[in-house]
Amino acid sequence: MKQKISAKAPVIGGKQYHIECGSGDVAPFVLVPGDPARVGKIASLWDSAREVANHREYHTMTGKFQGVPITCTSSGIGGPSLAIAVDELCRIGVDTFIRVGSTGGIQKGQKIGDLVISTAAVRLEGTSKDFVIPEYPAVASYEVVMALIEAAEELKVRYHVGITASTDTFYTGQGRPAYENYFPSFKEHVLDDMQSAGVQNFEMEAATLFTMASIFGKRAGAVCCIIANRVTDEFRIDDEMQKRAGLVASRAVAILHGWDKKKKFRKKDYLYPGVLT
């Protein structure tokens, strides 16, 4: 008899419908780049890796980094496709998400190739509003933020820490003219406004990730490599530059794994400096 598949939560052959992953396919720690092509590049930094699935924009590889189980799943561009991946990954046991992406830096003193570690995100996108009211904050897990900072320090990588702005569009949403110089008046000052508010960068996924993770009781953070400098009007990208963010995120996973063991040993739910001494 053919098995009935629920339209509410479609699972086919034990696999989540969109990401084509099931229980046991992924680690509790997942790195989330946007571009499917970046998954293999990040996994090449690990001790070992195997492909689990490659469906639509969702490419997944699982392996080990410094002995810790780790997964990388691409999300595609923007909040809508990321929301599907995060939801389905949560259903099969993921606990911690780290977005690994590219970004546009908008503050003085930033350089192409620097990393931005996000503490929170301005919700200039629409996906997160399908989950909760606009006033709900999109905040990264402090544990993930700390692990990313420690990893960047260990690896001697230049980084900046602060609030990110997430948008639904790359052009008008981030203060760039669209095709044929179309530029609606209500977006003309978005870059200036975000700079004045001390926002570090523009990207397109962190707000959705942070909002969902907070609601679902998961940990999430983001580390992005600056490929566009809106202050100096530069744009440059190369594989080695972007691998830097993947290496910092992978090392952060190993750091979090160690901290989690210390919390468990001390029977503590929350990380604080005394737990680590």
Could you say which of 20, 88, 143, 205 is catalytic?
88
Contacts of 128 (CB under 8 A, 6+ apart): 79, 136, 138, 207, 208, 211, 212
User: How many Å apart are CA 72 and CA 84, to the nearest integer?
Assistant: 15
Could you say which of 38, 99, 219, 230 is catalytic?
230
CB of 237 closer than 8 Å to CB of 250 = no
Count of beta carbons in the 10 Å neighbourhood of residue 252: 29
Phi, psi of 146, rounded to the nearest 5 degrees: -60, -40
Q: Which two tokens stand for residue 204?
A: 């397109």
Is 257 an active-site residue?
no
Amino acid at 20: E
Is 176 an active-site residue?
yes
Is 88 an active-site residue?
yes
CB of 214 closer than 8 Å to CB of 134 = no
User: How would you classify the pairing of strands 29-32 and 15-16?
Assistant: unpaired
Q: Which two tokens stand for residue 10?
A: 């479609």
Cα distances from 204 to residues 69, 157, 269, 277, in angstroms, run 27, 23, 31, 37
Residues serving a catalytic function are 18, 88, 176, 230
